[in-house]
Amino acid sequence: MKTDVDGCSTTAPGQEQYEEYYDASMRGTRVQYDYRTPEGELFSCVAKSLEAARDRRDAWLVEQSGRQSAPPIADEPDIETLMAQEMEGVCEATDGCLVEPDGVCPHGHPSWLLHLGLI
Ligand SMILES: [Zn+2]
């Protein structure tokens, strides 16, 4: 996209950016679409129209919100372990990844502290 800086989208959180271009191989216009969630995750796609791109974004957002409630797949650490992890600023997520105490791992699993409502 023209607004990219060093190949990275400059789309601000909660904003969308799009640009229409003529795709010679498709013999038609296409829309390059970027959307960044308020949490900072980037969605981008190429679609036939802005409406189609937004539909795909909406479907993606539904998928994302589903992932965020991913059930725990790792064993729950005991409370002393969790408190120690919070002090260290690194906490285990509910699938065993290491994240910030109030973080969510790339697979959509929140930290145990978040999951258990401790912070
Ligand atoms: Zn993970």
Inside any domain, residue 5: no
pLDDT of residue 66: 61
Instruction: Calculate how far, in angstroms, residue 63's C-alpha sits from the geometric centre of ligand 1.
Output: 16
Written as six digits, the tokens of 106 are: 């790339």
Inside any domain, residue 54: yes
Instruction: Calculate how far, in angstroms, residue 51's C-alpha sits from the geometric centre of ligand 1.
Output: 32
Residues 33 and 53 in one domain: yes
Residues 57 and 98 in one domain: no
Stretch 82-100: mean pLDDT, rounded?
95
Inside any domain, residue 94: yes
Instruction: Calculate how far, in angstroms, residue 107's C-alpha sits from the geometric centre of ligand 1.
Output: 4
**Distance (Å, whole) CA 76 – CA 52:** 42
Instruction: Calculate how far, in angstroms, residue 106's C-alpha sits from the geometric centre of ligand 1.
Output: 6
**Distance (Å, whole) CA 75 – CA 63:** 25
Instruction: Calculate how far, in angstroms, residue 35's C-alpha sits from the geometric centre of ligand 1.
Output: 23
Instruction: Calculate how far, in angstroms, residue 111's C-alpha sits from the geometric centre of ligand 1.
Output: 9
pLDDT of residue 68: 54
98: pLDDT strictly greater than 70: yes
pLDDT of residue 9: 77
Three-state secondary structure call for residue 117: coil
For the chain, the domain total comes to 2
Written as six digits, the tokens of 38 are: 């308020």
3: pLDDT strictly greater than 80: no
Of 8-17, 64-73, 82-91, 101-110, which has the strongest mean pLDDT? 82-91
- Per the structure, the complete domain to which residue 95 belongs is given by 79-115
Residues 89 and 62 in one domain: no
Residues 63 and 98 in one domain: no
Instruction: Calculate how far, in angstroms, residue 54's C-alpha sits from the geometric centre of ligand 1.
Output: 27
Q: 28 falls in which pLDDT band (50, 70, 90)?
A: very high
Stretch 27-45: mean pLDDT, rounded?
94
Stretch 98-108: mean pLDDT, rounded?
91
Q: Which residue has the higher pLDDT, 92 or 39?
A: 92
Instruction: Calculate how far, in angstroms, residue 117's C-alpha sits from the geometric centre of ligand 1.
Output: 19
